């Protein structure tokens, strides 16, 4: 299509089209395919701002949770499996059927001074109060479980799992820790 335009200073902004061709003119008599310098600057600005705006939208969206790696997923599954094997008898859904004030909910862990992975590890390894220790080198013998012992890396994984669940309010649990 051949378009011949007359400068704005001489006539209106309407462009003339060769009589044998279709007229491709948008609203206001301007060809929508022609970019003015102002429109070009606006498009460039929009293109340059789009990626950081999208990143901010995703990062600050409360519904967005960053994906976890396969290794983290496997560790969580192993931790859950260990918990179901060694702890679920007394600590169903993060509670405590033996001693109600010693649940695995964050408020009880904090009140009892066991709110870090290191402290959870120590209590799981050596025991405390009515809770038996599960570590291979647990002493005194009366404080330790009579059942199978856990290896150090298993107790570490278990402590990470319990801390993670406590921080989340035991999302798969049935009670609220009250």
Residue among 72, 78, 70, 68 at smallest CA distance from 155:
78
Burial class (CB in 10 A: 0-12, 13-18, 19+), 105: buried
How many CA atoms are closer than 13 Å to the CA of 84, on its beta-carbon side? 8
Intra-chain end-to-end CA distance of the chain, in Å: 77
Quick: pLDDT tens for 97-149: 999 999 999 999 999 999 999 999 999 999 998 999 999 999 888 889 888 89
Whole-prediction pTM value?
0.58
* DSSP code of residue 135: B
- Residue 140: is the preceding peptide bond cis (ω within 30°)? yes
Segment 92-99 mean pLDDT = 94
The two tokens of residue 139 are: 């002493």
Alpha-helix runs per DSSP H in 24-64: 37-59
CA gap 149, 155 in Å, rounded: 10
């Amino acid at each position: 299509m051949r378009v011949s335009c007359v400068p704005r200073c001489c006539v209106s902004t309407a462009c003339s089209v060769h009589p044998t061709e279709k007229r491709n003119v948008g609203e206001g008599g301007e060809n929508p395919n022609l970019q003015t310098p102002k429109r070009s600057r606006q498009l460039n600005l929009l293109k340059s701002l789009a990626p950081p705006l999208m990143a901010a939208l995703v990062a600050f969206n409360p519904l967005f949770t960053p994906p976890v790696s396969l290794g983290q997923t496997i560790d969580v599954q192993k931790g859950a499996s260990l918990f179901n094997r060694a702890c679920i008898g007394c600590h169903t859904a993060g509670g405590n059927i033996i001693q109600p004030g010693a649940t695995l909910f964050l408020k009880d862990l904090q009140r009892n001074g066991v709110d870090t992975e290191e402290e959870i590890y120590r209590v799981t390894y050596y025991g405390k109060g009515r809770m038996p220790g599960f570590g291979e080198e647990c002493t005194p013998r009366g404080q330790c479980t009579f059942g199978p012992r856990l290896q150090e890396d298993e107790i570490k994984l278990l402590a990470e799992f319990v801390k993670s669940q406590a921080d989340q309010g035991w999302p798969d649990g049935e009670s609220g820790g009250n």
